[in-house]
Amino acid sequence: MSNSIGIHDLSFATGEFVLPHTTLAAYNGTEIGKYHVGIGQESMSIPAADEDIVTMAAAAAAPIVARHGTDRIRTVVFATESSIDQAKAAGIYVHSLIGLPSATRVVELKQACYGATAGLQFAIGLVRRDPAQQVLVIASDVSKYDLDSPGEATQGAAAVAMLVSVDPALVRIEDPSGLFTADVMDFWRPNYRDTALVDGQESIGAYLQAVEGTWKDYQEQGGRSLDEFAAFCYHQPFTKMAYKAHSHLLNFNGYDADKEAVTAALGLTTAYNRVIGNSYTASVYLGLAALLDQADDLTGKSVGFLSYGSGSVAEFFAGTVVAGQREHLRTEANREAIVRRRSIDYAEYRALHEHRLPADGGDHSNPVQTTGPFRLAGISGHKRIYEKR
Ligand code: CAA
């Protein structure tokens, strides 16, 4: 039996619209350097009124099913922290939209931005038990903070779908993981709110604590040493956070964190997050997509992953890039998902931010806005109605 399990395919989708940070800065009077340099963000994806975590997830997963078929997929793990229902797993809508067979288990996972990594690890366990099976892991989130709050500049939206399989075509995931959990209130969203609450500075400190904690445990579990890694994919609530995190890791290990060394280790991973914004649990895997799409051949090289979810749970683990991975990348489709977005002005953004599905149980249609392959057509009797184009 092959011991090699990991990411066999990776595809992502994002929202219909994009808000440039220059537009937000012109509205709120912020000096643009704070956004472009201070937090390292240029623009953020904004979903259309007829898009949500389900439509983005289906758009991300459909190309995987088109390429690999459905025969071996017996489990769908849907990770999100912007859940649309307290009971029904959002993945069931996706299961139906992309035509998966009824002999499938579908479940939703939550632990802030860490959820997809839990999904990936659980998927590896399932594939190890039966190497004939593949698991579809989906991470989909809409990051939404209050208007005019400091968090507003760190919004975004995206879904990543990954097929986890034996003998993966992209990245083999290695066994030792460094784990860290701490009960902190750095970022949370009570059930009665649709925007997150956050203590910005506390959240940055909690993230850095988790970097230290996971690394210590990773070393104790027999993990690789720092200089064995060719690149690092960090969770990126804003891209500057990855720079802060890696500098912290270097300092913690007694190295100087000069900007050149940090940029060499993670610069390529920030390309998609910089223009998409925070996609919460999808973010670390958007970092991987950006790395693989742009790097010279990484075959046989180790990549370090740091997944952080506020509240907080974090994990550090390593992956090895597989020979021939370039032939399996979706570089053109990834770039298209970004460039196809339509830029909106501040008034359009504000209207979308304030848009809510009516909660009165009546029949309501959504305006037709998305040009994507799936849409949330409306709500009727408290039931969401999705359609495939
Ligand atoms: N030119 C260049 N840089 C500038 C500047 C200018 N004109 N003006 C300010 N800056 C710099 C500041 O010096 C600062 O840099 P450092 O952090 O390196 O010191 C940076 O821009 C941001 O400035 P502030 O700290 O003053 O910004 P803020 O108070 O508006 O808050 C924030 C920034 C805390 C990130 C806020 O946007 C926020 O709360 N975001 C949501 C929370 C978040 O993303 N936390 C990250 C860790 S938690 C996590 O990772 C989970 C998750 O996904 C939420």
Please report the atom of ligand 1 found closest to the CA of residue 196: 54
List the catalytic residue out of 51, 113, 246, 315: 113
280 lines ligand 1 (CB under 6 A): yes
* Nearest Cα residue to atom 41 of ligand 1: 151
User: pLDDT (tens digit, 9 = 90+) per residue, 35-46?
Assistant: 999 999 999 999
List the catalytic residue out of 8, 21, 95, 235: 235
**Residue 375 is encoded by which pair of tokens?**
């849409």
* End-to-end CA, the chain: 41
Q: Identify the pLDDT of residue 265.
A: 97
Q: Identify the pLDDT of residue 3.
A: 74
Residue 85 has pLDDT above 90, yes or no: yes
* Nearest Cα residue to atom 32 of ligand 1: 200
Beta strands in the chain (DSSP E): 5-14, 17-20, 43-46, 73-79, 105-109, 134-143, 156-166, 171-181, 187-188, 197-198, 229-234, 302-309, 313-321, 342-343, 363-365, 374-380, 383-388
Q: Is 113 a catalytic residue?
A: yes
To test the pocket of ligand 1, the residue of 113, 198, 214, 283 to mutate (highest count of ligand atoms within 8 Å of its CB) is 198
Q: Identify the pLDDT of residue 17.
A: 98
Please report the atom of ligand 1 found closest to the CA of residue 309: 51
388 lines ligand 1 (CB under 6 A): no
Mean pLDDT of all residues in 347-357: 97
Ligand 1 centre and the CA of 362: distance in Å?
41
Q: Is 235 a catalytic residue?
A: yes
Instruction: Calculate the average pLDDT of the chain.
Output: 97
Peptide bond into 312 cis (omega under 30): yes
39 lines ligand 1 (CB under 6 A): yes
Q: Identify the pLDDT of residue 305.
A: 99
To test the pocket of ligand 1, the residue of 30, 34, 141 to mutate (highest count of ligand atoms within 8 Å of its CB) is 34
To test the pocket of ligand 1, the residue of 30, 39, 247 to mutate (highest count of ligand atoms within 8 Å of its CB) is 39
* Nearest Cα residue to atom 30 of ligand 1: 150
**Residue 383 is encoded by which pair of tokens?**
């039931």
Q: How far is CA 376 from CA 157, 220, 245, 283, in A?
A: 16, 47, 37, 23
Residue type, 171: V
Cβ atoms of 249 and 213 closer than 8 Å: no
Q: Identify the pLDDT of residue 2.
A: 61
Mean pLDDT of all residues in 27-33: 98
Ligand 1 centre and the CA of 350: distance in Å?
22
List the catalytic residue out of 51, 81, 108, 315: 81
187 lines ligand 1 (CB under 6 A): yes
Ligand 1 centre and the CA of 39: distance in Å?
5
Residue 1 has pLDDT above 60, yes or no: no
| Total-model pTM | 0.98
Ligand 1 centre and the CA of 55: distance in Å?
30
* Closest by CA position to 76, among listed 132, 133, 147: 133
Q: Identify the pLDDT of residue 112.
A: 98
Structural domains in the chain plus CATH codes = 5-388 (3.40.47.10)
205 lines ligand 1 (CB under 6 A): no
**Residue 90 is encoded by which pair of tokens?**
């959002």
User: pLDDT (tens digit, 9 = 90+) per residue, 322-333?
Assistant: 999 999 999 999
* Nearest Cα residue to atom 39 of ligand 1: 200
% of the chain with per-residue pLDDT over 90:
99
Q: Residue 244 contacts by C-beta under 8 Å, 6 or more apart in sequence?
A: 204, 207, 208
Rounded Cα distance between 305 and 192, Å, is 33
User: pLDDT (tens digit, 9 = 90+) per residue, 155-212?
Assistant: 999 999 999 999 999 999 999 999 999 999 999 999 999 999 999 999 999 999 999 9
Cβ atoms of 50 and 376 closer than 8 Å: yes
Mean pLDDT of all residues in 226-253: 98
Mean pLDDT of all residues in 6-21: 98
Q: Is 233 a catalytic residue?
A: no
User: pLDDT (tens digit, 9 = 90+) per residue, 91-133?
Assistant: 999 999 999 999 999 999 999 999 999 999 999 999 999 999 9
Residue 365 has pLDDT above 90, yes or no: yes
**What DSSP line would sit under 12-56, residue for residue?**
EEE-SEEEEHHHHHHHHT--HHIIIIII---EEEE--TT--HHHH
Reduce the DSSP state of residue 380 to 3 states and report it. strand
